[in-house]
Amino acid sequence: MIRVRHLTKEYADLHRGRFVALDGISFDAAAGQVFGLLGPNGAGKTTALRILSTVLVPTAGSAIVAGYDVLTQPSLVRRQIGFMSANTGIYDRMTAWEMVEYFGRLHDIEREPLRARMEALFERLKMNDIRDLLGAKMSTGMKQKVSIARALVHDPPVLVFDEATAGLDVLVARALLQTVAELREQGKCIIFSTHIMREAEKLCDHVAIMHRGRILSAGTLDELDARHGHRDLEETFFELVSGHEHDEAPTTQGGER
Amino acid sequence: MNWSHVRLILGREVRDQLRDRRTLFMIAVLPLLLYPLLGMSMFQIGQFVREQPTRVLLLGAEALPAEPKLVEDRSFAVALFAEPDQQRLVELHLADSEPGPTGKAWTLDDARRAVETGHFEAVVHVPSDFSRLLGDFQRQLKTGAETKAGGADTRQAEPQVPSPEILFNTAKEKSQLAFMRVSQLLERWREQIGRQNLIDSRLSPEVARPFAVSECDVAGQQQRESAVWSKVMPFLLLIWALTGAFYPAVDLCAGEKERGTLETLLSSPAQRIDIVGGKLLTVMLFSFSTAVLNILSMGLTGSIVMRQFPELGAPPPLAPLWLLVALVPVSALFGALCLALAALARSSKEGQYYLMPLVLVTLPLVVLPMAPGVELNLGNSLVPVTGIMLLLRTLLEGEYLRALQYVGPVACVTLACCLAAVRWAVDQFNSESVLFRESERFDMGLWFKHLLRDREDTPSASEAVVCGLLILLVRFFMSFALPQPGSFGDLIVLTLVTQLVVIGTPVMLMTIMLTRSPRATLLLRLPRWDVVPMAALLAVLMHPSAQLLSRFVQFLYPVNREVREALDGLMAGSAGHFWEMLLAMAIAPAVFEELAFRGFILSGFRRLGHQRQAIALSAFFFGISHALFQQSIVACLLGLVLGLVAVRSGSLLPCLTFHLIHNTLSLLAAQPGAFSWLGELVEAGEDGPTFGWPVIIVSGLLSALILVWFRRLPYPKTREEALEAARELADSKAEGGGRKAEDAAQAERDEQGDSDERRLTRAY
């Protein structure tokens, strides 16, 4: 469902020069699978997910999402994905219903099927009481629910969740993880970035541990445990990240290119 | 563009804006309050200014003649005022009845200081012998008249009367007003004395005014009334259309970034052009509404206030119609400009800062039509914004036939500007560095280090802009720093120095410092064997058309007579110095300008990924780098041809050849008897030879064929251009074939994915 090869992204940064945010990462994610991108802040998770959702363009490498190339077929890719960002992206002056309807209509769903689908979604996510609430008056949990509804309204085969549980209280975070698990059961391909190991352990079938734009290790949880000799993902993560902590930050200075 | 997406985005944005109290205040409440408040305050201020009396000191009142009276009851005589109640506006102080600043009698120096310090706004100084000498002169006149009546021949009396003096201070406005008022009084007093003199000379006072000049205003009542409205209304319309576009644009772009909603919108199926389209229509709608509400409110307030000024009358009856028609392109242009600018801002606060530069750039274009004597003609109609304002003014004045002549040029220019502005806005929304710009502490040292450390093979688009601006700036300052050429020899030396310092040096320095590959940047490659001869042929064939264009431009915007005379004067010494001229005006510009505009600047703009846009931008900079506006227009169009040749051949050599031959032919054309071998096909004239229509048409057609040949040349794309082309292809497939295209893409995906992967991996 998702195939990423040698994906690279460079930025020009005043302090670090040409800074490599993604350094040739490759991975695959299949339908009915939750793929976790784990890494500390600044590892390159958000950049990778932004490229998959065609918001950013890679400097090199390729990514195929649901059969379409992010580089040359971005508009087709966008029809196949539901994207949810860490900052929820909720319009202050729109109600929950209007917001979900707006994105449903942007996906060219006709009014009546859309209404039926939204009724079902609002019921499933228990959002009927915030239906007419303006974005500015919503709590973080409510915003997150609207954000999920917006990502699911067109029933995409691929879901991209970028730090979706950041800033949520335990109850809301748990409900969100429950939703993700249900989506997996429905055969969706979910790519999920987080830096909370417990979430990844509960949810992910495959994980890739990222640090400074590179994938340090990837595989199923069992494969990772076996490879690194730990029973705990957090231990594996800590060992990998601290082992590379003193590596040079990847930059393309001088004649390295 | 997907119109259903555009409609959806428009609907959402409009609803969003209407729920925002700030926007509602700006577009609806402010106009309704502004004009009544403005009217009230203007009325009050006007009263205040009119009621201010002027303090005047009269020095030497004792030297005034008894008749006619200048001073009466310690004030200027009431007969000297046009209206008797104006007498209270001049407060007269007599120096002989008030002690001076030192406690003694006033002196002329005291009076001067009193005006300087503002104690008095004006001083009237009457010389001590004024009355005596005036009396002498009048007696001579009387005697002369009596003698003449007795039959004797006498000589006319010569006046020896000293001049009274008004002391005032031009640096102070109140003093200027006082001078105006007092000089009118003294003028009338002098007329009274003159009339008396004529009577004394036994002549009728009408001798001095044998006839009166009567006035006849042919303007009808409506024309007179519309004269003021036709100037004020377009101005206000444009200013409010700009203001009305700006605030929603900032909220729609910077606000969306602030709230973090932009990323979600960008990952939706709406394409960037749909997003820009929806937002642009929203901004246009608000710009339109703001301007309409302002005009309505102004009309309402005006109709009440203007009853006090019956000479102004009501606005022309068709005014609302013309204003609404003109508002559509105006709001589209300002909307697109504001959107593109607002996309740069990271926050609403930052967005507000961009308003001032936009207003400063637009204001001269809005104010130009207000200048006296500026009328709608072909030249003015081609100036963006100014043309539309002048057209609107002509329509408001009721000159429909005249307006109709210029609708075409105004519409073309406005449409071209709108399209360019929309393109810019779409590019802004396609630029990651604009959309995801993060705030970073600016450090000059780090920035320089970053420039040198992170340079690439070719310059960036912003470096190209800096290079273009640097050339313009250096040229501007050099034109003041260098002495004006006095002779032909000076002109040659100065032209060479200017080319080297203004164009050559910045370009070479920037190429060496900011790029890794001067060869790729300046296109220092050998082209295909047939490209250079074709470029040379193109230059020759384009010469007649270029000359015709140049003449047409000079017809539209005639060169100032002084400038033309100065140029002719300098070129007068050119006879017999053809080789020097060739060096300074053909070889040097061909080398340096090509290195700059088709080398560094074009390479920089090509990094944006749009070849046509890069050519247009480099041609624009090439155009404005020319000193004369008339030259700039022609150069800009030739820049487009040169840009095409550079991109398609991938080499600077054909451009250099074209430029050299073009300039050489222009120099040859100025030689006496040039192109006489063409016989009847060319006609010698004062400004050089004029080619006949057969030559122009045939050479023009052949040039077009060569340009098509250049367009069809296989050429090396930059990485950005290749990516844009691939994307356009994929988009057109998706839009054109719908589901079918998706299926086709699905079938191809593995193969294409693999090839893209290989290509991009290689590219990196």
Measured CA distances, B343 to A148, B70, B287, B312, B460 (Å) = 27, 69, 17, 43, 20
Closest to B252 (Cα-Cα) out of B466, B32, B18: B18
Q: Which of B454, B455, B755 to mutate to test the interface with A (most CBs of A within 10 A)?
A: B454
Mean pLDDT by 10 residues, chain A (257 residues): 89 70 88 88 87 88 90 88 83 91 92 91 86 89 87 90 79 82 89 84 87 86 81 79 64 39
- Which of chain B's residues have a Cβ under 8 Å away from the Cβ of A6? 757, 761
Rounded average pLDDT over B462-467: 89
What was the pLDDT predicted at A246? Answer: 60
B423 within domain boundaries: yes
Instruction: Give the containing element (helix H, strand E) for A65.
Output: strand A60-65
Q: Which residue of B has its CA nearest to A58?
A: B760
| Total residue count of chain B as it appears in this document | 764
Q: What is the pLDDT of residue B572?
A: 67
Residue in chain B nearest A79 by alpha carbon: B269
CA distance, residue A229 to nearest chain B CA (Å):
34
Considering only the beta carbons, identify the residue of B15, B264, B731 that sits closest to A83: B264
Do A50 and B263 make contact, defined as CB atoms within 8 angstroms?
Answer: yes
Distance, in angstroms, between A226 CA and closest chain B CA? 32
**Span B671-683, mean pLDDT?**
69
Cβ–Cβ below 8 Å for A69 and B730? yes
Cβ separation B749–A106 shorter than 8 A: no
Pairing of strands A81-84, A158-162: parallel
B755 touches chain A (CB under 8 A): no
If one compares B40 and B419, the residue with the highest pLDDT of the two is B419
What gap in Å lies between CA B250 and CA B13, rounded to an integer?
12
Which of A28, A52, A73 should be substituted to probe chain B, the one whose Cβ sees the most B Cβ atoms within 10 Å? A73
**Is pLDDT of B189 > 60?**
yes
Helix (H, G, I), strand (E, B) or coil at A125: coil
In a domain? residue B485: no
What's the rounded Cα separation, in Å, for the pair B375 and B262?
45
Q: Do B230 and B370 belong to one domain?
A: yes
My answer on whether B232 and B381 are in the same domain is yes
CA distance A75 to B274: 12
Same domain, B230 and B379: yes
- In chain B, the number of structural domains is 3
Q: Which residues of A are less than 8 Å from B24 in CB distance?
A: none
pLDDT band at B709, cuts 50/70/90?
very high
Q: Do B440 and A76 touch (CB under 8 A)?
A: no
Domains and CATH numbers, chain A: 2-248 (3.40.50.300)
B706, B663: one domain: yes
* pLDDT confidence tier of residue B10, bands split at 50, 70 and 90: very high
Same domain (yes/no): B290, B376:
yes
Min distance B448 CA to chain A CA atoms (Å): 9
Tell me whether residue B229 is in a domain: yes
Q: Nearest residue on chain A to B260, judged by CA atoms?
A: A89
Residue B763: per-residue pLDDT: 36
Contact of B590 with B656, CB cutoff 8 Å: yes
Q: Residue with structure tokens 């098509």?
A: B708
Mean pLDDT rounded to a whole number for chain B: 82
B208 in contact with chain A, both atoms CB, cutoff 8 A: no
Per the domain annotation, does B726 fall within a domain?
Answer: no
Q: Which three-class secondary structure state does DSSP give residue B234?
A: helix
Q: Which string of DSSP letters, residue by residue, matches A10-28?
A: EEEETTTEEEEEEEEEEEE
CB contact under 8 A, B264 and A8: no
Q: Where in B402-557 does DSSP place strands (E)?
A: none
pLDDT, tens digit, for every residue of B192-229? 999 888 888 888 888 888 888 888 878 777 677 777 77
One domain for residues B76 and B170: yes
What integer pLDDT is reported at residue B227 of this predicted model? 75
C-alpha span between B112 and B751 (Å, rounded) = 94
Residues of B in contact with A59 (CB under 8 A): 764
Segment of B476-480, B587-591, B747-751 carrying the highest mean pLDDT? B587-591
Q: Show the CA angle centred on residue B239, arms to residues B234 and B243, nearest 5°.
A: 145
Q: How far apart are the first and last CA of chain A?
A: 32
Q: Which residue, B702, B715, B668, B663, is CA-closest to B538?
A: B702
- Which of B7, B12, B267 is the best mutation test for A, with the most CBs of A within 10 A? B267
Q: Which tokens belong to A24? A: 């040739």
Cβ of A68 and B446 within 8 Å?
no
B749 part of a folded domain:
no
Mean pLDDT of B22-38: 80
- Cβ–Cβ below 8 Å for A53 and B267: yes
Strands B690-691 and B682-683: antiparallel
Per-residue pLDDT at B748: 44
B407 with B260, same domain?
yes
For A205-238, the pLDDT digits (tens) are: 888 988 888 888 888 888 888 887 777 777 788 8
Q: Give the list of residues 6+ apart from residue A50 with CB closer than 8 angstroms, or none.
A: A56, A162, B263
pTM of the predicted model as reported, rounded to 2 decimal places: 0.70
Do the Cβ atoms of B279 and B253 come closer than 8 Å?
yes
Interface contact A94, partner B, CB < 8 A: yes
> Which of B435, B470, B499 corresponds to the end of one domain?
B435
What's the CA dihedral at A126, A130, A136, A139 to 10 degrees? -40
Instruction: Find the mean pLDDT for residues B472-491.
Output: 78
Residue type, A71: L
Token pair 């009142």 in the structure block, residue: B61
Q: State whether A69 and B5 contact (CB < 8 Å).
A: no
Calculate mean pLDDT across residues B533-544: 93
Q: b or e along B727-737 (b: 16 or more beta carbons within 10 Å of the residue's beta carbon)?
A: beebbebbeee
Same domain (yes/no): B89, B237? no
User: Rounded to 5 degrees, what angle do the CA atoms B579, B581, B583 make?
Assistant: 70
Ramachandran bin of A248, using left for φ above 0, alpha for ψ from -120 to 50, beta for the remaining angles: beta
Q: Which of residues 391-450 of B touch A (CB under 8 A)?
A: 432-433, 436, 440, 442-443, 446-447, 450
Of B435, B458, B486, which residue constitutes the final position of a domain?
B435
- Chain A CB contacts of B440 under 8 Å are 13-15
| pLDDT for the residue B593 | 94
Tokens for B203, please give them. Answer: 């002549």
Residues in a beta bridge with A194: A38
For residue A61, the chain B residues in CB contact (below 8 A) are 757, 760-761, 764
Q: Cα dihedral angle (B604, B610, B611, B612), rounded to 10 degrees?
A: -120
Dist. CA B517–CA B540, nearest whole Å: 33
Q: Is the peptide bond before B248 cis (omega within 30 degrees of 0)?
A: no
Choose among B12, B260, B271: nearest Cβ to A75. B271
| ipTM confidence score | 0.87
**Angle CA B277–B272–A102, to nearest 5:** 75
B385: left (phi over 0), alpha (psi -120 to 50) or beta: left
Contacts of B270 (CB under 8 A, 6+ apart): A106, B2, B5, B8, B9, B278
Q: How far is A56 from chain B (nearest CA, A)?
A: 7
- pLDDT tens by residue, B382-420: 888 889 888 988 888 888 888 888 888 899 999 998 888
Same domain, B35 and B56: no
B220 has a chain A CB within 8 A of its CB: no
CA B638/CA B648 separation, integer angstroms: 16
User: Phi and psi at residue B685, in whole multiples of 5°?
Assistant: -140, 180
Give the model's pLDDT for residue B686. 66
Out of A15, A102, A147, name the one closest to residue B446 (CB). A15
- Between the CA atoms of A229, A230, A234 and A238, what dihedral angle is there, to the nearest 10 degrees? -40
Domain that includes residue B102, residue range: 51-207
The Cα–Cα gap between B181 and B75 comes to: 14
Closest partner residue to A107 (CB to CB) among B259, B269, B443 is: B269
Same-domain check for residues B249 and B371 = yes
Q: Do A74 and B727 touch (CB under 8 A)?
A: yes
Q: Which of B181, B207, B233 is the last residue of a domain?
A: B207
Do B358 and B383 lie in one domain? The reply is yes
Q: What is the DSSP track for B110-164? A: HHHHHHHHTSSSEEEE--TTHHHHHHHHHHHHHHHHHHHHTT---PPPPP-PPPP
Summarize pLDDT for B96-147 with one digit per residue, the tens: 888 877 778 888 898 999 999 989 999 999 998 898 888 888 888 888 777 7
CA–CA gap between residue A156 and residue A148 (Å, rounded): 12
In a domain, B467, yes or no: no
DSSP A60: E
pLDDT tens-digit map of B292-324: 888 888 777 777 766 666 666 666 777 778 888
* Residue B112 and residue B139 in one domain: yes
Q: What is the DSSP code string of B267-323?
A: TSS--HHHHHHHHHHHHHHHHHHHHHHHHHHHHHHHHHHGGG-TTT-PPPTTHHHHH
The Cα–Cα gap between B672 and B119 comes to 69
B401 falls within a domain? yes
Q: Identify whether B629 is part of a domain.
A: yes
Q: Which residues of B touch A62 (CB under 8 A)?
A: 753, 756-757, 760-761
* Cα→Cα distances B699→B327, B476, B533, B548, Å: 42, 37, 16, 12
Contact by Cβ (8 Å): A188, A1 = no
From the number of C-beta atoms within 10 Å of its C-beta (0-12, 13-18, 19+), residue B49 rates as exposed
Residue B396: other Cβ atoms inside 10 A: 24
Asked if pLDDT for residue B58 goes beyond 60, the answer is yes
Question: Can you tell me the distance from the alpha carbon of B54 to that of B174, in angstroms, rounded to the nearest whole number?
Answer: 8
pLDDT band at B183 (very low <50, low <70, confident <90, very high): very high
